[in-house]
Amino acid sequence: MTTTGQELREQVRERYAAAARAVTEKNAVGCCGPSSCTSDPGEFVGSGYDADARAELPSDAVAASLGCGNPTAVAELRAGETVLDLGSGGGIDVILSARRVGPTGKAYGVDMTDEMLELARRNAAEADITNVEFLKGHIESVPLPDDSVDVVISNCVVNLSVDKPAVFAEMARLLRPGGRIGVADIVADDSLTPAQRAERGSYTGCIAGALSVSEFEAGLHDAGFADVSITITHDVVDGMHSAIIRAVKPA
């Protein structure tokens, strides 16, 4: 029986709701899935975060990190900018972004999971961060106006969307002219078919739903982005990799 997009979305929502509950209840959480993001599921998954960055964060924000990179470093955030994190989870990247952009900037996070939103708001309060706002919504339809942010980031989330063209179009809608994206995500070799990707891991484990390198590039170009670059950072499973994706909305 074929799984529908709505069923996949609900599986993703429940997976991340469970992850948030695990943090709240002080149980261990892993990465997107047991085979993804790092070779060791017990390793701190945000290997792109240095010790100084982790020291800025509440322990529950670190524990709830389910990503595969550090988009706040990828995006090279500057003071005064407005940043949006798609699929903000426990708030780790929103908190770091808020510190980077400073009191004259702002960091938004959007997530569809009530449990993650509650955890993120608590983490931001514990970190004494006030220039943040967490919104409930889907990354394909963000409750913010056109041309309202300077930077869009996400951390191992695009692969979880059931409508990736809508995500790319939404990024373009939200960004001001000249704005940019800095994304960490999972990508597949162009030689792997969707069926072969599904053989390597589950949808909720960030594997089955991943785009190939060429598909990711084409999706961003189709949405109107320029200067698209995809840089492989490390292997996840055979033929699939964590990557840094950058692009710019033409001015």
CATH number of the domain bearing residue 167: 3.40.50.150
pLDDT above 70: percentage of residues in the chain: 79
Q: Sorting pLDDT into bands at 50, 70 and 90, what band is 153?
A: very high
Query: What's the structural domain count of the chain?
Result: 1
Which range of 35-44, 155-164, 171-180 scores highest in mean pLDDT? It is 171-180
> Rounded to 5 degrees, what are φ and ψ at 26?
65, 35
Instruction: Round to whole Å and give the CA distance between 91 and 108.
Output: 10
Half-sphere exposure of residue 151: CA atoms within 13 angstroms, side-chain side: 29
Interval 2-27 mean pLDDT: 70
Q: What is the pLDDT of residues 28-71, one digit of tens each?
A: 444 444 334 433 333 333 445 555 655 665 555 555 455 566 77
Return mean pLDDT, the chain: 84
For residue 150, give the DSSP letter: E
> Using 50, 70 and 90 to split pLDDT, how confident is the model at 1?
very low
Residue type, position 50, single letter: D
How far is Cα of residue 207 from the mean position of the Cα atoms in its chain? Answer: 14
Q: Are 177 and 250 in contact (CB under 8 A)?
A: yes
Centre a 10 Å sphere on the Cβ of residue 16 and count the other Cβ atoms it contains: 25
- At residue 75 the predicted structure's pLDDT band, cuts being 50, 70 and 90, is confident
Q: Pull the structure tokens for residue 67.
A: 């990503």
Predicted local confidence at residue 237, as pLDDT: 94
pLDDT at residue number 43: 32
Whole-structure pTM value:
0.82
| Residue range(s) defining the domain that contains residue 104 | 5-248
Q: What is the pLDDT of residue 16?
A: 66
pLDDT of 202 reads 87
Closest CA to 176 of 245, 83, 101: 83
Q: How much is the average pLDDT of 129-142?
A: 96
Does 14 have pLDDT greater than 50?
yes
pLDDT tens string 86-100: 999 889 899 999 999
